[in-house]
Amino acid sequence: MGTIRLTAAQAMVKWLSVQMTPEGERYIDGMWAIFGHGNVAGIGEALHAYRDVFPTWRGQNEQTMAHAAIAYAKARKRTRAMAVTSSIGPGSTNVVTAAALAHVNRLPLLIVAGDVFATRRPDPVLQQVEDFDDGTVSANDCFRPVSRYFDRITRPEHLLYALPRALRTMTDPANCGPATLAFCQDVQCEAYDYPAEFFEPRVWHIRRPRPDLDELDRVAALLRAAKRPVIISGGGTIYSQAEDALGDFASKHRIPVAETQAGKSGLSQDHPMNFGASGVDGSAAANSASVAADLVIGVGTRFQDFTTGSRTLFGEGAKLVSINIHGYDAAKHGAESLVGDAKVTLQALSDLLGDYQGDAPDAAAREDWLRAVDAYCARPENQAAKPTDGQVIGAVQRATGPDAVAMCAAGTMPGALKLLWKPSQGGYHMEYGYSCMGYEVAGAMGLKLGAPDRDVICFVGDGSYMLANSELATAVMRRIPFTVVLTDNRGYGCINRLQTMGCGGEPFNNMYVDCNVEVQPEIDYVMHAASMGAHAVKAAGTDQLEAELKAAKTRDIPTVIVIETIAKDFPGTGLETSAGDHAFFWDVAVPEVSDRQKQRDRFEEYLGQIANARLVN
Q: What are the boundaries of each domain within the chain? A: 3-203, 213-366, 377-564
Mean pLDDT, rounded, for 420-446 = 97
Residue 253 has what DSSP assignment? Answer: H
The neighbouring-strand residues paired with 110 are 83, 179
Predicted confidence (pLDDT) at residue 516 exceeds the cutoff of 50: yes
Mean pLDDT of the chain: 94
DSSP string, 370-393: HHHHHHHTSPPS-TTSPPBHHHHH
Q: Note the pLDDT of residue 512.
A: 82
Q: Note the pLDDT of residue 385.
A: 94
Q: Note the pLDDT of residue 579.
A: 31
**What would the 3-class secondary structure string for 309-343 be?**
CCCCCCCCCCEEEEEECCHHHHCHHHCEEEECCHH
Question: For the CA atoms of the chain, what is the radius of gyration?
Answer: 25
Range name among 385-394, 499-508, 571-580 with the lowest pLDDT average: 571-580
Range name among 59-63, 104-108, 418-422, 501-505 with the lowest pLDDT average: 501-505
Q: Note the pLDDT of residue 497.
A: 74
> Between residues 612 and 300, which one has the greater pLDDT?
300
Q: Note the pLDDT of residue 404.
A: 98
**What would the 3-class secondary structure string for 4-20 be?**
EEEEHHHHHHHHHCCEE
The architecture of the domain spanning 377-564 is 3-Layer(aba) Sandwich (3.40)
Predicted confidence (pLDDT) at residue 99 exceeds the cutoff of 90: yes
Predicted confidence (pLDDT) at residue 408 exceeds the cutoff of 70: yes
Q: Note the pLDDT of residue 613.
A: 79
110-154 pLDDT tens trace: 999 999 999 999 999 999 999 999 999 999 999 999 999 999 999
For domain 3-203, give its CATH number from 3.30.450.30, 3.40.50.300, 3.40.50.970, 3.30.70.260: 3.40.50.970
Mean pLDDT, rounded, for 168-180 = 98
List % helix, strand, coil for the chain (3-state, nearest 5).
Answer: 40, 20, 40
Q: Which CATH class is domain 213-366?
A: alpha beta
Question: How does residue 294 score in pLDDT terms, banded at 50, 70 and 90?
Answer: very high
> Between residues 585 and 403, which one has the greater pLDDT?
403
> Between residues 503 and 301, which one has the greater pLDDT?
301
The neighbouring-strand residues paired with 430 are 408
pTM: 0.95
Question: How does residue 78 score in pLDDT terms, banded at 50, 70 and 90?
Answer: very high
Predicted confidence (pLDDT) at residue 333 exceeds the cutoff of 80: yes
Mean pLDDT, rounded, for 389-399 = 97
The neighbouring-strand residues paired with 299 are 233, 323
- Topology alike, domains 3-203 and 213-366: yes
Q: Note the pLDDT of residue 460.
A: 97
**C-beta of residue 284 within 8 angstroms of C-beta of residue 218:** no
For residues 526 and 510, give the distance between their C-alpha atoms in angstroms, rounded to a whole number: 22
Q: Note the pLDDT of residue 568.
A: 67
36-45 pLDDT tens trace: 999 999 999 9
Please state, as a whole number, how many other Cβ atoms lie within 10 Å of the Cβ of residue 453.
6
**C-beta of residue 408 within 8 angstroms of C-beta of residue 440:** yes
**C-beta of residue 513 within 8 angstroms of C-beta of residue 491:** yes
Predicted confidence (pLDDT) at residue 502 exceeds the cutoff of 90: no
Predicted confidence (pLDDT) at residue 77 exceeds the cutoff of 50: yes
For residues 342 and 77, give the distance between their C-alpha atoms in angstroms, rounded to a whole number: 13
What share of the chain in percent tops pLDDT 90? 84
Q: Note the pLDDT of residue 609.
A: 82
Mean pLDDT, rounded, for 509-526 = 87
Q: Note the pLDDT of residue 570.
A: 55
Predicted confidence (pLDDT) at residue 583 exceeds the cutoff of 50: no
Q: Note the pLDDT of residue 67.
A: 98
**What would the 3-class secondary structure string for 512-532 be?**
HHHCCCCCCCCCCHHHHHHHC
Predicted confidence (pLDDT) at residue 434 exceeds the cutoff of 60: yes
Question: Residues in the chain, how many?
Answer: 617
Predicted confidence (pLDDT) at residue 493 exceeds the cutoff of 50: yes
CA 375 to chain centre: 29
Q: Note the pLDDT of residue 193.
A: 98
For residues 273 and 253, give the distance between their C-alpha atoms in angstroms, rounded to a whole number: 10
Please state, as a whole number, how many other Cβ atoms lie within 10 Å of the Cβ of residue 538.
18
The neighbouring-strand residues paired with 19 are 202
What share of the chain in percent tops pLDDT 70? 97
